[in-house]
Amino acid sequence: MSEPTPYAAAPGGAPVAKWNVLSIISLVASIIFFHLVGIITGHIALSQIKKTGEQGKVLAIIGLVLGYLGILGVIIFTIAVVGFAALGTSSYTY
| Residue whose C-alpha is closest to residue 63's, from 39, 90, 85 | 39
Give the pLDDT score at 7: 66
Mean pLDDT of 54-83: 97
What share of the chain in percent tops pLDDT 70? 82
What is the rounded distance in angstroms from the CA atom of residue 31 to the CA atom of residue 8? 28
Q: Are strands 15-17 and 7-9 parallel, antiparallel or unpaired?
A: antiparallel
Supply the mean pLDDT for the chain: 89
What is the rounded distance in angstroms from the CA atom of residue 87 to the CA atom of residue 26? 38
Q: List, for residues 10-28, the tens digit of each pLDDT value.
A: 667 677 889 999 999 999 9
Q: List, for residues 31-58, the tens digit of each pLDDT value.
A: 999 999 999 999 999 999 999 999 999 9
Instruction: Record the pTM.
Output: 0.79
